[in-house]
Chains A and B, each alone.
Chain A
Amino acid sequence: MNGVDGAAALLEAMTERLASGDRFAGLFGSGAPTKGVTITGMLATSEDVELLDAELAPGAVRYPTMSREIKPAFWYERALHDLFGVVAENHPRLDPLILPHDEQYDPLPCPGASSSPDRVVPDERAIPQRVLGTGVFTIPHGPVRSGVFESVEYVIETPGEDIPHLNVRPYAKHRGVQNRFQDLSVHHGMLLAERVEGVASVAHALAYAHAVERLAGVTVPPAAALVRVVHAELERIANHLDVAMKLADAAGLAVAVARFGLHKERCLRLIGAMCGSRFGRGVVLPGGVTAVPRMPPAHLRARLDALAEGIRGDADALMDTPSFLDRLRGTGSLSHEQARVHGALGPVGRASGVYDDARWVRPYDAYPRLEPVVGDRRGGDDAMARLQVRWEEVNDSVALIRQATELLELAGGDSLRVPLRVPAGRAVGWAEAPQGEVLYVVAVNDDGRIERCAPRSASFHNLAVFASTFRGDVLTDFPFIEASFGLSIAGAVL
């Protein structure tokens, strides 16, 4: 870990590294301003994720903004302000994001500090109300929206049809997850990691486990690594089916919605039959997995093949339905340049030609043993391209699960777990969730308890770029663009 003295030096170091080809992966803080907040930048390199620290002096609440030089830091600095009260000076727009509060409010959550406040209530009045332009008005959409959705408020600024500007206000369901990690044992921390972004439980569990395992200096047994892959890929299939279902719903294709809903149900039941939880919870443990799937590999493959065949038929039909495709083509376009500068993650990034899949670039668990999927693809950067990427990923996932179960058969009765002794220290772990790369920074103290755990979900990172994909799109395109991003608000506001 490189120690960088002061925020200005951190900015300089980060800018330099980004120019040499590394990717900005996030920014988080630790500790309370009274004792000095530590701001940590995360950089994804070609083989690792590196952490760069900058310690603010005790009592200091101001530091020079990074968002001017490093555009994707924009949201991260807003979140820093909400949680720690530190102000990025000269920030383009330091509006509240995940926890609006009055400027003088005290005490703030300050994850990583020795104590947490009892109660912090989001204060809506802290959010500036402004609309620019003649004849422009706002349409507040949420937090209670029509349909079964997670709570989030989109404030659409529009002169009537176009969407020149969109504000995302996700704070309503801020759950204070980061503070809850503190003082948990690493094993109980795993349970919470599975609930940070429930629809990607396995990916979060993996990223968390990888951080803890790295700290302990252990490698999981080969059989456990294979079981992890099987669960992670099934989770991916379920999430991509959810996106297809929501896109079809937006287009009003009732039968298609029913078909993908049926496939998704079958996928969740398959996961449930393998481990007892429809979301793959309780499978991953720091140091391995709890058990092999509760069905013979041949049986698992048979169910998988049936599932895959059903999906393929309906996916082909969907991609051959003109009334559906017309709504996706050219909708929610995210240019390659935008995606590259922002470091867009997961299928959203890949559809815009930013190929950084943690499974293959920084491989973990059993992925190095499996046949890699060639993923650099081009052709469109819109909602359509994102759906195509997802269909390709579903096919790939099926192939990967097949390979993994075949290897698992050969592994026979190998052990599934290594004993773990976690020394004090800090480590970073990652995994590729269906939404994109998930990062966990876990710091453990001498008693083996968690001192600070900072999850960074792809949902947060990608939601920041979501608002800038509305160029030329109109109100009725909104549900398509939202569904095509496939994000979870729970993971975005923590």
Chain B
Amino acid sequence: MPWVFRGLREGIVTTRYPRRPDHYANSFPARVVPREDPPSEDGDLGRLCPTGAISTGPVRVDAGRCVLCGLCVRERPDVFEWRPGSETATLRRSGLSVPPLEEDDDQLDRVRTALAERTRAFRRSIHVRHVDAGSDGTEEWEILALLNPVYDVHRLGIFFTPSPRHADVLLLTGAGAHGMAEPVRRSLEATPRPAVVIAAGVDAISGGLLAPSYAVSAGVGELADVDIWVPGAPPSPFSLLFALLLAMGRLPEESGRAR
């Protein structure tokens, strides 16, 4: 009984996102991007990045490789800057670059429509099965945070399930350790269709600092067909929540369209 009162005394701490914007979600430094008008010389910028996320001509940052170390912002604040916000997940790997690569709008439309078709039944509620394929442990903390009272994803009909047989969404973290290839394959096989696969974190997208290596396969893309990519090292709980809402097709029109 005393526990109940302890909980009640705190009042409401839960965010109202996605119905209302959340200050923390909007201010979280989630990405490094090139400034709008960088200086014209950009010769050796690629060298600044330990994971090769920076390409030049024009200057571009691949969020799927960026481990958010901020070395480039420290060295060249005239070219790079932090961009806050949590709506970072995309439906296509190529969509993670800033500025975006040449996008084929028709194709993006097709991807979006295909996912929407598949996930029509997900709009009200999903069950998520998380599988760690070689993470550093931080992604698990951020996923678990979704269950704390601040995010409380149960209010949105999002539940975590112990069994892949009850799962609609497979949430994969980690750089794709070879030892997890078989367990991931079996989990995916046990998941009923339709299913959505989310790669959470830069390790899961590209292997981050851990690839290339004898022990990992440069992200989970080689272990499963990924539908949604969530950059970040690790992605903040709001970024993860955004990705789950994307899987459910429940995003506000304006943020859902640009994916």
B210–A198 CB distance below 8 A = no
Q: Which of A415-448 contact B (CB under 8 A)?
A: none
- B160-180: CB near A (< 8 Å → 1, else 0) gives 101110000000001101111
Interface residue? B215 (CB, 8 A): yes
CA A126 – CA B174 in complex, angstroms? 25
Most buried by A among B7, B145, B162, B209: B209
CA A148 – CA B129 in complex, angstroms? 8
Which of the residues A172, A195, A258, A276 comes within 8 Å of B29, measured between beta carbons?
A276
B7–A255 CB distance below 8 A = yes
A256–B141 CB distance below 8 A = no
* Residues of A close to B210: CB separation below 8 A: 175-177, 180, 195
* Residues of B close to A143: CB separation below 8 A: 179-180, 183
Given the contacts A143-B183, A144-B183, A259-B7, A265 and B148 also touching, CB distance less than 8 Å: yes
* Residues of A close to B28: CB separation below 8 A: 272
A120–B147 CB distance below 8 A = no
CA A386 – CA B4 in complex, angstroms? 26
B143–A172 CB distance below 8 A = no
Closest to B144 in A: A148
Given the contacts A175-B210, A198-B234, A151 and B131 also touching, CB distance less than 8 Å: yes
* Residues of B close to A188: CB separation below 8 A: 50
A180–B50 CB distance below 8 A = no
Which of the residues B67, B74, B144, B213 comes within 8 Å of A176, measured between beta carbons?
B213
Q: Which of A245-276 contact B (CB under 8 A)?
A: 253, 255-256, 258-259, 261-262, 264-265, 268-269, 272, 276
Interface residue? B149 (CB, 8 A): yes
Query: Interface-forming stretch among A278-286, A297-305, A360-368, A464-472?
Result: A278-286
CA A112 – CA B142 in complex, angstroms? 34
- A14-42: CB near B (< 8 Å → 1, else 0) gives 00000000000000000000000000000
* Residues of A close to B254: CB separation below 8 A: none
Q: Which of B184-230 contact A (CB under 8 A)?
A: 186-187, 208-210, 213-216
Q: How distant is B35 from chain A, measured CB to nearest CB, in Å?
A: 18
Given the contacts A180-B209, A180-B213, A198-B137, A265 and B160 also touching, CB distance less than 8 Å: no
- A131-173: CB near B (< 8 Å → 1, else 0) gives 0000000000001111111110000000000000000000111
* Residues of B close to A175: CB separation below 8 A: 134, 174-175, 177, 210, 213, 215-216
Q: How distant is B138 from chain A, measured CB to nearest CB, in Å?
A: 4
Q: Chain A, interface size: which category?
A: 35 or more
Query: Interface-forming stretch among A313-321, A325-333, A342-350, A391-399?
Result: A313-321
* Residues of A close to B236: CB separation below 8 A: 278
Given the contacts A148-B144, A192-B209, A489 and B178 also touching, CB distance less than 8 Å: no
B3–A255 CB distance below 8 A = yes
Interface residue? A196 (CB, 8 A): yes
B215–A258 CB distance below 8 A = no
Interface residue? B24 (CB, 8 A): yes
Interface residue? B121 (CB, 8 A): no
Given the contacts A173-B179, A490-B137, A491-B137, A151 and B132 also touching, CB distance less than 8 Å: yes
Q: How distant is A4 from chain B, measured CB to nearest CB, in Å?
A: 30
* Residues of A close to B10: CB separation below 8 A: 259, 262
B69–A198 CB distance below 8 A = no
Interface residue? B88 (CB, 8 A): no
Closest to A204 in B: B136
* Residues of B close to A173: CB separation below 8 A: 132-135, 174, 177, 179-180
Interface residue? A174 (CB, 8 A): yes
Given the contacts A175-B134, A261-B148, A277 and B68 also touching, CB distance less than 8 Å: yes
* Residues of A close to B215: CB separation below 8 A: 99, 109, 120, 174-176, 179
Which of the residues A118, A184, A488 comes within 8 Å of B137, measured between beta carbons?
A488
Q: How distant is B17 from chain A, measured CB to nearest CB, in Å?
A: 14
Q: How distant is B205 from chain A, measured CB to nearest CB, in Å?
A: 14
* Residues of B close to A192: CB separation below 8 A: 209
A262–B82 CB distance below 8 A = no
Given the contacts A146-B162, A188-B50, A489-B137, A258 and B148 also touching, CB distance less than 8 Å: yes
* Residues of A close to B50: CB separation below 8 A: 184, 188, 191
Q: Which 3 A-B pairs have the closest CB atoms?
A: A176-B215, A146-B162, A261-B148
Binding site for B on A (CB under 8 A): 99, 109, 116-122, 143-151, 171-177, 179-180, 184, 187-188, 191-192, 195-199, 201, 242, 253, 255-256, 258-259, 261-262, 264-265, 268-269, 272, 276-279, 281-282, 290, 313-314, 317, 321, 488-491
Q: List 14 A-B contacts (CB under 8 A).
A: A148-B144, A151-B131, A151-B180, A172-B179, A174-B178, A179-B214, A180-B209, A184-B50, A198-B135, A201-B138, A258-B7, A261-B144, A279-B234, A489-B137
